[in-house]
């Protein structure tokens, strides 16, 4: 079996977890602080506020900006449902642009959605590739919008300008079990705005400034030292992991580039792609449809994923939700029907990558 993701916990994680258990301080403490330091430098930001998952990171960022019911947030229609749920949880209204060939929010689709209730734009760096941040930031600045980055899939990805994702306003990362750096459940918000950072630290901890002094109705979004101990050692290995993912992606693309009816993912020029997923797309010219290709992968014990099978709003619970405005995102809807992710993770051996290539080529008659 060649799995789509593989979780390996190193000896360093085991040692640090045992250390936490031995010291007996399991909740938020010194290791969370260390984790925050690593996250701040990952996102080239002054501050990092660790939270218990990526969804609460997004909620915290929206709340910290003072976004209120009736305010609108523009995001991508091709994303994990958490992006939408976080906006709704914070009480805001969500609107969707469309995606470009990089599967990220197309800057050209944003402007038509902006009105006097629009407060923020929330690009998602899908599959580990930064969205077109120079264009998105320029629109946001011109129209007075906040930028919240959903960087849940993009630890250490960089933009065409060489900037870290998560450094453009408020950066939200997830450390869920299958992300490129993980601790089971965890999240962080990064920012260089001291006032927002302060507000988020308070909101994270029941709205409490000092013991039993409450400034605002807050949450318990705290991360545990136990979880931080799992994440911290992975920062030392992340360069090697990204290099291995890049090599696997390059090998896959070299092997699949000429297959009729298959479009390999494009690493946009200058952007530092970290290959959370390697996602191909089938066109009408393919000799089998997506289900046919999946059958071949299953038969040959090759893992796969569809991220995501529908535009994120395309479910009854969102179609009928008063906080969801659907303007129509035809490219996202079409891509959702034809995309397929193949294994690209850092633990793959070269001959496993070659097996993936062979099976896909054979299924598509190449
Ligand atoms: C994983 C993910 C999230 C949510 O993170 P959790 O830690 O699972 O809450 C948000 N957005 C995207 C794009 C994700 O992939």
Closest atom of ligand 1 relative to the 82 alpha carbon = 10
State residue 226's pLDDT score: 98
Cβ(4)–Cβ(303) below 8 Å: yes
Q: Which of 287, 222, 278, 198 has its CA nearest to residue 246? A: 278
Helix residue ranges, H only, the chain = 11-23, 30-42, 54-64, 82-89, 133-143, 194-204, 225-231, 234-256, 290-299, 316-319, 330-338, 350-363
Compute the distance from residue 361 Cα to the ligand 1 centre, in Å. 32
Compute the distance from residue 286 Cα to the ligand 1 centre, in Å. 32
Compute the distance from residue 129 Cα to the ligand 1 centre, in Å. 15
Compute the distance from residue 178 Cα to the ligand 1 centre, in Å. 10
Residues sharing a CB contact under 8 Å with residue 208, sequence separation 6 or more, in sequence order: 202, 214, 215, 218
Instruction: Give the Cα separation of 134 and 137 in Å (integer).
Output: 5
Probe ligand 1: pick from 4, 5, 54, max atoms within 8 Å of CB? Answer: 54
pLDDT tens profile 129-140: 999 999 999 999
pTM over 0.75: yes
Instruction: Give the Cα separation of 120 and 220 in Å (integer).
Output: 24
Mean pLDDT (the chain, rounded): 97
What's the token pair of residue 122? Answer: 């929330």
Closest atom of ligand 1 relative to the 58 alpha carbon = 10
State residue 51's pLDDT score: 98
Probe ligand 1: pick from 5, 82, 308, max atoms within 8 Å of CB? Answer: 82
pLDDT tens profile 208-236: 999 999 999 999 999 999 999 999 999 99
Instruction: Give the Cα separation of 156 and 171 in Å (integer).
Output: 12
State residue 85's pLDDT score: 98
State residue 269's pLDDT score: 87
Q: Is the CB of 153 under 6 A from ligand 1?
A: yes
Average pLDDT over every residue of 81-110: 98
Which neighbouring-strand residues pair with 341? Answer: 279, 305
Q: Residue 155: what are its φ and ψ, rounded to 5°?
A: -55, 125
State residue 32's pLDDT score: 98
Compute the distance from residue 346 Cα to the ligand 1 centre, in Å. 20
Which neighbouring-strand residues pair with 167? Answer: none
Model confidence at 18: pLDDT above 90: yes
Peptide bond into 18 cis (omega under 30): no
Compute the distance from residue 55 Cα to the ligand 1 centre, in Å. 6
Looking at the chain, the whole-number percentage of residues with pLDDT higher than 90 is 99
Q: Is the CB of 307 under 6 A from ligand 1?
A: no
Residues sharing a CB contact under 8 Å with residue 142, sequence separation 6 or more, in sequence order: none
Compute the distance from residue 79 Cα to the ligand 1 centre, in Å. 9
Q: Kindly state the DSSP code that residue 278 receives in the 8-state scheme.
A: E
State residue 70's pLDDT score: 95
pLDDT tens profile 21-67: 999 999 999 999 999 999 999 999 999 999 999 999 999 999 999 99
State residue 118's pLDDT score: 98
Q: Which of 3, 13, 24, 37 has its CA nearest to residue 184? A: 13
Q: Is the CB of 53 under 6 A from ligand 1?
A: yes
State residue 141's pLDDT score: 98
Q: Is the CB of 221 under 6 A from ligand 1?
A: no
Average pLDDT over every residue of 3-11: 95
CB atoms within 10 A of CB 243: 11
Looking at the chain, the whole-number percentage of residues with pLDDT higher than 70 is 100
Q: Is the CB of 78 under 6 A from ligand 1?
A: no
Cβ(325)–Cβ(226) below 8 Å: no
pLDDT tens profile 286-327: 999 999 999 999 999 999 999 999 999 999 999 999 999 999
């Amino acid at each position: 079996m060649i799995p789509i993701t593989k979780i390996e916990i190193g000896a360093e994680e085991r040692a640090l977890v045992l250390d936490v258990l031995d010291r007996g301080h399991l909740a938020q403490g010194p290791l969370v602080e260390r984790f925050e330091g690593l996250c701040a430098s990952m996102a080239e930001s002054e501050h990092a506020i660790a939270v218990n998952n990526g969804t609460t990171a997004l909620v915290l960022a929206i709340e910290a900006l003072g976004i209120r019911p009736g305010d609108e947030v523009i995001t991508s229609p091709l994303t994990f449902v958490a992006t939408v749920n976080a906006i709704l949880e914070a009480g805001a209204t969500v609107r969707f642009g469309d995606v470009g060939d990089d599967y990220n929010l197309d800057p050209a689709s944003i402007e038509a959605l902006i009105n006097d209730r629009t407060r923020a734009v929330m690009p998602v760096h899908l599959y580990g590739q930064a969205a077109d941040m120079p264009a998105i930031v320029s629109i946001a600045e011109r129209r007075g919008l906040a930028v919240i980055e959903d960087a849940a899939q993009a630890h250490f990805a960089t933009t065409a300008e060489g900037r870290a994702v998560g450094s453009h306003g408020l950066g939200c990362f997830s450390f869920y079990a299958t992300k490129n750096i993980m601790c089971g459940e965890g999240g962080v918000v990064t920012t260089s705005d001291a006032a927002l950072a302060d507000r988020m630290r308070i909101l994270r901890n029941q709205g409490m400034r000092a013991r039993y002094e409450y400034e605002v109705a807050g949450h318990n979004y705290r991360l545990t030292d136990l979880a931080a101990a799992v994440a911290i050692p992975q920062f030392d290995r992340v360069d090697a992991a990204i290099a291995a993912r890049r090599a696997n992606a390059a090998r896959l693309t070299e092997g699949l580039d000429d297959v009729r009816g298959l479009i390999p993912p494009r690493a946009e020029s200058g952007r530092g792609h970290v290959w959370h997923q390697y996602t191909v797309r089938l066109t009408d010219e393919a000799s089998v449809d997506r289900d046919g290709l999946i059958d071949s992968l299953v038969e040959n014990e090759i893992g796969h994923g569809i991220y995501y099978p529908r535009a994120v709003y395309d479910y009854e619970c969102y179609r009928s939700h008063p906080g969801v405005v659907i303007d129509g995102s035809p490219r996202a809807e079409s891509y959702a029907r034809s995309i397929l992710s193949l294994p690209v993770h850092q633990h793959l051996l070269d001959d496993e990558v070659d097996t993936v290539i062979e099976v896909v080529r054979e299924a598509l008659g190449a």
